[in-house]
Structure 1
Amino acid sequence: MRAPGVVDHGTRRRRALGRRVLWTAGEVLVTVGLVLALLVVHQVWWTNRQAREGAERRVEALEREWDRGRPGATPAPEDVPGADADRQGAGAGDRTAPAGQRGRADTAGRTARERPHRSQAYAVLTVPRLSVRVPVAEGIGKPDVLNRGYVGHYPGTAQPGGAGNFALAGHRNTHGEPFRHLDRLRRGDTVEVETRTATYVYAVDRTLPRTSARDGGVLAPVPRSTVRPAYGYGEPGYYLTLTTCTPAYTSKYRLVVWGTLRSMRPR
């Protein structure tokens, strides 16, 4: 039996050590939480702010460049509505041209397609319903295109206004997230693509809510999903494809919005 007034120093030390361990663990957890919160703020808020400001400046720079008449890319007279027909002497008889474009083959054939360099911003995408106006750059690399708040052009697909499939990708979350609300687009909504030589107006007519990230069929000249074949087109035309990740804050699947060319306005 312990005598009254005798202090068990071993027990006191163990209790003190336990308190220090708990205090240290609490400090570590608070520090980790603060670091994670700062990372979230940086990723969700700061990257958006930086990318949006940079994208706005690039749009303004492109517009000034076009106004001064300085081309930003090397032109090549191919892959524009009616260009093939001009070279073959078909002219306005090209029946694959979209409504409103027949009869303009001579003008379109003389409007050179821009052949941009990798990562070069060379067009401006405007989506009125989403209040989006961002640069279009060649390629879909993250550091040099998508993470700058730009929309990226899939290499190998058609150029703006060209026959086939003009296909674009953009972030849904972070880094400007130009396609954050891509799922809000509806049939009949317009999407404009402005280049140095013309503005091309596409009308949304189909949406593929979810498909595999490896579904290359959505990027084909005649776009049709290889995962969900009921979605897509069955004949050649002048198409626009917009892709982004889905669901939000993941990259497992892809959301696809398609449109067809409705008109072209020379600058």
Structure 2
Amino acid sequence: MADGASSSAVHDIRRDLAAAYRLIALEGMDDGIYTHVSARLPDGPGGEKRFLLNPYGLRFDEVTASNLVTIDDSGAVIDDPYGAGVNAAGFTIHSAVHMARHDAACVLHTHTVAGVAVSSVREGLLSLNQWSAQFHDRIAFHDYEGIALDLAERERIVADLGDRQVMLLRNHGTLLLGRSVAEAVKLALNLERSCKAQVAALGMGLTPLEIPADVAEHTARQYQSAYDGIELRGKPDPEWAAHLRRLERHAPDFRA
């Protein structure tokens, strides 16, 4: 046992979180040294809440399993192999969610061009295709308050998020919650495709054709059933396994 949990469990969380950073980078969804993906660790020996975050100053394609920073829910650094601490804005958003939503094993935040574009229009994401139908009536919204350095904003983020897994941070970007790192990444990739498709479709100058609400809801439930099978019933996750194989070819040092 290590830090109140098996070293194998902690190793797997570190590996998956490092994989998340690398996949976001491979997909071109990173933003320099900014934005974050965090993962909840098992509680410490004294019951303290802990989670992992990327070292401040590293690009996503430089993150590895061993250089992730361990912090507690007050922002105190517990372990910092790289020695640069973490981004304060990252702590504000991610700690808010982890402290309030114990079902969130992973919190993923991006600033992509498509995601920021969709977050910057009043209508948000429209159900224009199968990808976006996954998120039908399942997106929360939080109004922009400036760079997230004010700890008081945490309560408002949590209140706006409610029990949803997906949030558009108005004029800012996207926020995804996963019951595992794998689920958060898959949601983020699908949301990004949805936003790109919407920007492309509306940019054609033709009439957008939205999926009827009942069909969109049916589609969203189909997606949810598949995700629940993996997260709640322990079914294999071939999509995540495929992502890890991709990394073994293109960025094998993520495990280091």
**Same fold, TM exceeding 0.5?**
no
- Structure number with higher helix proportion: 2
> Please, what TM-score do these two structures have when normalized by structure 2?
0.27
Higher share in strand? 1
**Structure with bigger RCO (C-alpha 8 Å, 6+ apart):** 2
TM-score (structure 1 length as normaliser): 0.26
Larger radius of gyration: 1
